[in-house]
Amino acid sequence: MLPVNNESIDNRFFKTLNEDIKLAPNQYGEWDMVFEEGDIVNVTGAESLANAIVILIMTRYGELKNNPLYKGDFGCRVHEIPKDNITNLNRYKIEKYIEEAVRRMRRVKRIEYIQVTPHTIGYNVALAVTSINDENVALKMELE
């Protein structure tokens, strides 16, 4: 079992945001688990919500429909967009697909903004949400 700091602010006041294994992107925009001293790092509160959003966006819509832990509508449709077509229409679709997916999250009260900008071989996505307990979470990622 992962060690939990029961005295932390996140653990005491933001339990509704759950806890998770910490994820971080590498220089190629790929997300993976973070290890410190050979152990998995646990996150709670706003960091856990940011992780959940990353997992949601990086999971193809409906990919986990046979997994009883997830509803059939889990995931995001951004994976349907052709990677080689950087257009305003695709930028708009990415924004709407992410908005649609994040709105389904119980832990999100409000989406503050979603900004999708073209990058050399994909798109940069920046978004901010307000959680159900009024904690602000900002997240930046690259979609390639």
* Domain total in the chain: 1
Region 6-11 average pLDDT: 57
> Does 2 fall in a domain?
no
- The pLDDT value recorded for residue 60 is 92
Give the C-alpha distances (Å, rounded to integers) separating 31 from 15, 18, 84: 24, 20, 21
The kind and range of the H/E element at 44 are: strand 42-44
Domain that holds residue 29: 9-143
Which residue, 101, 126, 133, 124, is CA-closest to 112? 126
Of 9-18, 21-30, 79-88, give the lowest mean pLDDT range. 9-18
> Does 36 fall in a domain?
yes
- The pLDDT value recorded for residue 37 is 85
Eight-class DSSP state of 34: -
| 31-50: pLDDT as tens digits | 888 888 888 888 877 788 88
Percent of residues, the chain, with pLDDT higher than 90: 20
Beta carbons of 23 and 30 less than 8 angstroms apart? no
CATH code at 90? 3.10.450.40
> What pTM did the predictor assign?
0.77
